[in-house]
Structure 1
Amino acid sequence: MTTAPPTPKMQRSRLVRLIVALLVTIPLVLAAVYMWVLWDPTKKVDQMPVAIVNSDAGYVKDGEPLEAGAQVAKNLVDSKSLGFKLTDKNDAYYGLKTGHYYFVIEIPENFSETLGTIATAAQAPALMTVTFNDYDTLKASQIGGSAMEKIQQSVLKGVAATTVGGLVDGVQTLGDGLRTAADGSVQLSDGTKTLSEGTQTLVDGITGELQPGVGTAREGGAKLADGAGTLSAGLVTLQGGTDKLGDGATQVADGIEKLTGQIPLAEVEKLLKQAQAALPNSSQLSTVMTLIDGLQALKAGSRQIATELTDPNAQYRGGLNKLVDGGAQLSSGASELSAGLVKIDAGVAKVADGAVRLNEGAKQLDAGAGKLSTGLVAGSEKAPDFGDQDARVSLAQLISTPVAKQTVHVAQAQFQGPGGAVTILIIATTLIPIVVFMSFRGHRFVTDDESPRSLRTVARRGLAVSAISLAGVLVAGIGAWLWLDPAPNPVHLWQVILISAAATLMNVALISILFTLFGYIVGALSSLAWMMLQLFSYGGIWMIQTVPAPFQWLHWISPMTLVRHGYIAAFNGVPGFAPTLVSLLLLAVAGAGATLAAARYQRKRYADAVSPEADPRDEQVPEPTPV
């Protein structure tokens, strides 16, 4: 049986081995990470799945429906700048939590309304919300943010004519309106000037002619009322005198009839006619005949006079009665006319005062219209004229962007944000076991000049590495929670702890296989190389769709991919925790079994090399130096 050579002093010192392990691993990890940070995935960002949520309710503008949100969503999908998928809000944000979508673009409900009214109302630009979740993938927000800046033209396509075009049309309409208003203001100024002149003429006519004439009429009305009253009283007096005169005339007529009734005038007249015939030259008979004729005429005339003076149906008496009634009505009407003329005189005085004020207001209106005309003419000259419709559309496309984006981070990784917690934990659960293994004394199991360790020793080393690695991951996790600002806030912290523990144990088991099969140096280098390959392919730093094809294939068999899924479930509160935890534990058990199998194989190989005829299960194989 051969004796194992003495172990170098450096390998016997744990502190020295730890320092060497750190000096080897840290620069290598930093160099690899730095190299991967410089990786340019922009040529394949069109394969990144990104959700588009169109919540736009549309808008009716000038009787025409406006669907700007649908147009923007279509333009984004057609641009193929990213792997856009139009979906509903629930699917989009659930996919963001599960890692199915790298980010979500949401078009708000009032998108079309904001764009449709931007030319007529002072509003902020139409905002689209872009939501990232760095718990899922570290670089998605950076690459997505850069990509969004480049696809801004796709967002603006189709809305420029609606928004800025409407603004240009509005300004053009304003200019046309100013010019029309300027023309109208000139006409208004001319009209107010004519109004001012007319009101001045009205004032002159009212105060110079109407008001004095109404005053004279008022005075004449008063005199007319007085005269009519006097006339009416005189007519009444005349009527009374006529009554008395009629009574006297009646008495005279009665007396004459009584007088003539006592003389048979007809017989006397007959006798006188006979006597005149007998005495044709008798002058006395002629005189008597004349006297008789006069008596008859007096009788008839006196009766006629009495009738005219007393009979209401007679022409004179009836006319006198009507004249008395008309005089009374004239007196009453004249009084009313006089009272009305007094009121008219007072009203004309008020009209004259109002006309004066109207004239003053018309002068002020004329002055204001003149200033308005001057201002509108000057403003219309300064108002822009954008030309015809084609010219305005071309100009509208050159004016500022009416659509902006608002970025929301569920957990930002940049600037020591909480989103970096997942990447820190994944690196810690892999790198810390490697460092711990490298801190132990190296031992080669693949040659025949060293004795293998027993299964007990291998198991004891595995337990020791597991315990130290778990403690190291715990310290790294606490340090990350203290260093990141704000601190990470996973939905299920207990799930984070269990996934971290299971991932650490799994990595201890898998790394122990490499150290068992290949020894200290080859095991350390192969472990580090395996970790670097996983970092580039597991999808937590770079989007898996953007890395070279070989790394995409490696993504599906990488244990780190499985750990990432577990952290996504724990941090975002989505399904997947239980199957991931079971899978990690099964891998840990399988790795531990493979390590023990490798150790048993090395023991058999060593026993066969030392004593070909010895029983492989011989317990006389010397125990190695403790770890």
Structure 2
Amino acid sequence: MNPFRLAVAELRRLTANRLAALAVVALTIVPTLYGGLYLWANHDPYGQLPNVPAAVATDDVGTTLSTGERLRVGDRVADDLVRSHSFDWHRVSRQEALDGVEQGRYSFALVLPRTFSSDLASSGDFHPRRASMTLETNDANNYLASVMGNTVVKEVTTSVASQVSSTAASQLLVGLSQVHDELGKAADGAGRLRAGATDASKGAASLVTGSQRLTTGLTDLRDGATRLAAGADDAVAGADRLHTGASQLRTGLRTLSSKTAALPAQTDRLADGAEQVAAGNRTVAAAGLEVAGVSTTLRGDLAEQRSALLADLRTAGLTDEQLALVTTRLDRVDATVGRADGRIQTASRQLTALSTGADEVATGARTLARSTPALVSGVDGAATGATRLRDGAASLETGLRTLGTGADRLAAGAGTAVTGSTDLTSGARRLQSGVAELGKGAGTLATSLTQGRDEVPDPTDAQRRAVAQTIGSPVTVDTSSMSSAGSYGAGLAPLFLSLALWIGAYVLFLVVRPLSPRALATSQRSVRTALGGWLAPVAVGAVQAVVLYLVVAVGLRIHVAHPVLTMLFLLAVSMTFVAVLHALAARLGAIGKFLGLVLMVVQLVSAGGTFPWQTLPEPLQWVHHVAPMSYAVDGLRRLLYGADLGPVLLDLGVLAAFLVAALALSSVAARRARVWTAARVHPELVL
């Protein structure tokens, strides 16, 4: 009897009745249930993260930058998280977020403090503070959710740091541009200062000449003021005499008024006296006009000399402050002369009026002589006019005295001005020397500023944005994958496909006999007996592999890069796993089945199906290199994801070695099984 007949006989036994057939069908779909359900449940968990509730709370009150810009990073971070839909974010208050995490409404919460923005902006005032965020987690909700929350916080931290770095770099580059521009302006200003210093040097030379002429003019002004003071004293004496005469005229008119009874006899004498007074008044008035003319001429000369002086000083390059000082001094002199001239002109007009009045008195006296009846009223009017004349003379005397005082002051001020102009000449010479030195220094400054401006970078707006972005995020990662799983479920598929085939092979030997008793009772060769016991579960295992592949590739839509090769590889893996478990069951019986379960657990943790095998403890790393499931997982990864298929040959070679070794062990077990022992008749453990 060949091995295939033995396998067919075993399959007929397994399907001899409806219940047995249903059991075989159930065994066939066990790998599919295990691998398919697990991969379905974990097909794309990261795509479902937007359904995981999370809270974000911000107490950030914001801050104002030195540029006046309002900064509220907390609101920006919260809004970006909500818009990102990375989780089911809820923007709530701080207390509501904490209560939600504690009560399980939220998996975790991100809390931003009141000083978040001000801490981020603190580098601008050179008192930097690190901004902080609080991640509130509760592992009682879900440990992995807390881990993912930490990942989100790191991403937010990186994003905020990049924004802050970009903003700071942009402000720094703007400052460099402003420094470059201001240095250029300073260099231009230094150049203009050098040119101005050259002109100022020439002006200082002119100032020396002008100040010398000013000294001469002020000396003349002082001498003229002295003469004016002497003339004013003479005018005071004349005004005093005028006042005395006016007083006497008033007294006489009063007496005349009281003695109107003798008026007809005295009118001729009165007329003569009045004519004499009128003549004297005309003499005084002429003198007053002469003094007024001299005063007017003096004031005109002073104004002309003042204008010429100021023009010369300005032409000489005198500064506005120096001109203001000279102008102030001249204003005082001009004001004093003006007041004196005003009073002299007033006195002259009053003397003229007095002369005219005296003439009228004389005419009136004559008229009085001819018009005696109207004499009384005329005498009274003359007495009143005489009173005004006396008062005017008094005012004239006071004005002339004031003029004399002003002239004295003018002379003194002119003397002081002479001394000041002498000092001005000396200062102008020092100014000329200093301006020459200023020109040299300005030239050196202009050269240095130009060199400094050329050394300061002046980036364009586009360059500034590019540099700021580079500083804020100096490293970019270009991800290039030689092969890609595409989803979390696809990433786990190699491990759970292999594990499902092992479980499928394991459950087969719960009902399949590893060795046919009929074959053992005959003279069949041990190899044929072993192959016959192996082929029956291999057939069921092949169906398991096909169904599992169809569910994963078609039902779960996990992309398979090499469908045919993957299917063939799954069959090879199933055959190898069936052979290993067949050998254990055939050689060790119930103990072998238990060892098959132990091997499944050991291979589950050592196959490297989730974390890289290098992360395993060293003993499990040794197990990884000798366990058949490690090579099954490696081969399926390359076939599913489209990687280099070269290592698949090594995986197939190792699996083939396990297959041959397992069949050899089964053959040995078949040969030993021909001998019945007490342990076989009454086994201590039956599974």
> What TM bracket, shorter-length normalisation?
0.3 to 0.5
When the two structures are superposed, what TM-score results if normalisation uses the length of structure 2?
0.34
Which one has the bigger helix percentage?
2
When the two structures are superposed, what TM-score results if normalisation uses the length of structure 1?
0.36
